Chain A
Amino acid sequence: MSTIQVKEVSKRFRNVQALDNVSFEVPDKKLFCIVGPTNAGKTTTLRTIAGLEKPDQGEVFFDGEPMNEVHPKDRNVAMMFQNLALYPDKNAFENIATPLRIQRVGEGEIKKRVQDVADILHINHLLDRLPKTYSGGERQRVALGRTIVRRPRVYLFDEPLSNLDAVLRIEMRSELKRLQRDLGQTMIYVSHDQVEAMSMSDRLAVLNEGKIQQIDLPARVFSGPDNMFVAGFFGRPPMSFLHMAVEKIRERTVLTSKELKVDVSALAKGLQEYSSVILGIRPQDVKVNTPKAGGPVFKVEVMELLGAFKVLSFVVGDDILLGNVPADARVKLGDLMEIRIDPSRIYVFDEKTRKVIV
């Protein structure tokens, strides 16, 4: 078994704080994603686990055993990167066998293990062919084979799919997930792609500017984000954020801006100490209609077709509000549309801390 624990790890490169007190635990046999934008500290985290970076503070544990003083090659991890280099003059069999040859595994055992890997990845037809004849997906599979042919304690994947075409990426995504399940091995997977992270992982850590933002189940980071960063990172098109004042109107508690009013009496308890907040709402939850009910209207500034729906952009005060309508809805740029925001679908954030209030 392999439970990986990262405890209070910090790492500085000259004047950049790459990791700031990062802690998380990867349960045995699970696929754990570390997700965040460029420069969030994802790769540094992975390299620290592999032993390629030494933390300034904090410690990494494998099954409770401290790893800081253990040499990378003795940690028994297998890493796969975005830029996968196959040996161009070796066929798939030899490419996959390389790590075993380095470990001086016997010839009979090598044959058996390469064959097992080839069966799992459906690459038997490539075993005696050279890399230049592979398609992009085949290349990826052979590289994957070379990674999994070893039996490490943990697999570390650094954006292995980001060089692939969009269609192939979707294929490989579910293939990798199946593979991890079949192998029953702990896997840590780094990605900047929120869909990849949500769709593949059993559990995930959201990282931004070296700090952990949330560690949770994939469904929870979408439906219950802890802060504005997580709320804006997951879900496409992204959640809109609107600056609103909190007002008491008669007995009701209402979020107001110049153009919009949202009755939030049901949430009033948590809002007592605030005079202004940030309202978050996902485009799918914004009701957009042709003006008729006398509600507030806004001009369609930008319209984008995204498959089954269109995304409309409206300017609300200094903020931008996105709303979805079906792809066949009759809307033109510049049209006036009526906007309604359902209070049960909103998130409310603290302006200063950017944390979720209710």
Chain B
Amino acid sequence: MILRLENLTKQFGDLVAVKDLNLTIEEGEIISLLGPSGCGKTTTLNMIAGFERATAGKVYFDDRCVNDVHPKERNVGMVFQEYAIFTTMTVFQNISFGLRVRKVPKAEIRAEVRRIAENLNLEKILDRNVANLNLSELQRVALARTISVKPSVLLLDEPLSNLDAALRERTRVELKRFHNKWGITMIYVTHDQLEAISLAKRIAVMDSGMLQQFGTADEIYRHPANLFVAKFIGNPPSNVVRGEVVKKDRSYMFKSGEYELDISMHGDLIKKALKGNKLAISFHTEDVKITRSRNQKNSTPVEVFVVELLGYDQIIDLKVDDLIIRALVPSSMEVKVDERLFMDIPVDKINLFDLETEKNIFLTAG
């Protein structure tokens, strides 16, 4: 099924929860709706499922507008953070429930449950009572129950956020395997970008009820459409520095307080697409190079403020006057708090934003 949202809007009193949302999800595609809490993700799902009525705009299932179709008739499957299962039944009874209600013949039920269970790695625990399952298994039972009645689209609202980190990852892999084999149209709502990237080819980033960017993980990562996306994407999130452009002779300098960066290589772009002189730059933490001795003549002296170990890598917070720049470097590099180092920012990898519009001028310039 192709799912299409057209100028979808939802207002609760004065609050605009979703505004003019346009999205098309292809047959069998899995997309992520990614954004902070309160950005309108769940309201969007509820309008697709029919639990909320759109204030304006339309929801299409293939070519059919379903605005006036009752939720029960939409054939939408939903899985939430809180799993909905019958706690006194076995796994088999839970998964087969919807089929039994529809009076599907017994042999057919058995075959269908087995097929679903195999896809979600539940086949060995079909006879267990759900009271004895771990959270990952419970969530997969909830999922199995939902898909047993063959919904034409599956909506998942932060289904993994009640699981602890290790289970979350295992369940995510199971979900991914399931989608590979099953090929159902799926929308996965999350505030966790790693989850979004790992599950979906295309990601819709939302904030304040509005779509900020819709694209592949790679597109969003390389060229965030605006300052919100830039600050949201990256693990840890990218550095964003606000300042202004100062033209000196033929060169363009970016200035923020005492900090200066020569961005002349983007001079043509700035000339073409920047309206005033107020500019922000963004760059990923892993692109920041730190060294003990001055690397280039324009290396910036910095002071180590905080060191956070992540395993293979560590996050270093670097102080440049009033700015804090975050760098992701291998843990093998020994760095101490208060140590003085030098920092280089790769100018070819930065993104530039017009502070008037907050938009990425790489994209607005075409």
Contacts and interface: CB of A to CB of B under 8 A. Distances in A.
Interface of A: 37-38, 136, 165-168, 170, 173-174, 177-178, 192-195, 198-200, 218-219, 222, 232-238, 282, 284, 301-302, 304-308, 313, 327, 333
B308 interface: yes
B310 A304 contact: no
Contacts of A236: 165, 169, 311
A177 B169 contact: no
B315 A174 contact: yes
Contacts of A167: 36, 191, 231-232, 237
A170 B37 contact: no
Question: Which of B191, B237, B309 gathers most chain A CB within 10 Å?
Answer: B309
A165 to B, nearest CB: 5
A307 B194 contact: yes
Nearest to A333: B180
B201 to A, nearest CB: 9
B120 to A, nearest CB: 14
Given A38-B164, A136-B37, A219-B331, A313 B309 contact: no
A219 B309 contact: yes
Given A167-B232, A306-B198, A195 B176 contact: no
B306 interface: yes
A177 B176 contact: no
Contact of A37 (B36, B164, B217, B314): B164
Contacts of A301: 177
B306 A177 contact: yes
Contacts of B305: 178
Contacts, number: 92
Given A167-B237, A193-B165, A199-B315, 15 more contacts: A37-B166, A37-B167, A136-B37, A167-B231, A170-B236, A178-B305, A178-B306, A192-B164, A199-B309, A235-B311, A282-B312, A302-B173, A305-B197, A306-B194, A307-B197
B213 to A, nearest CB: 15
Interface of B: 36-37, 135, 164-167, 169, 172-173, 176-177, 180, 191-194, 197-198, 217-218, 221, 231-232, 234-237, 286, 305-306, 308-312, 314-315, 317, 331
A218 B331 CA distance: 11
A167 B232 CA distance: 7
Contacts of B286: 308
A166 B314 CA distance: 17
23 contacts: A37-B167, A38-B164, A136-B37, A166-B191, A167-B191, A167-B232, A173-B308, A174-B306, A174-B315, A177-B306, A192-B164, A194-B165, A199-B309, A199-B310, A200-B308, A218-B309, A235-B311, A235-B312, A302-B180, A304-B172, A304-B176, A304-B198, A305-B197
A198 B217 contact: no
Nearest to B135: A38
B164 A313 contact: no
Question: Which of A195, A235, A301 gathers most chain B CB within 10 Å?
Answer: A195
Nearest to B217: A305
6 smallest CB-CB distances across A and B, nearest first, come from: A199-B308, A304-B198, A165-B36, A165-B191, A192-B164, A166-B192
Contacts of A200: 308
A120 to B, nearest CB: 15
Nearest to A38: B164
B197 A170 contact: no
Nearest to B163: A38
A55 to B, nearest CB: 25
B194 to A, nearest CB: 6
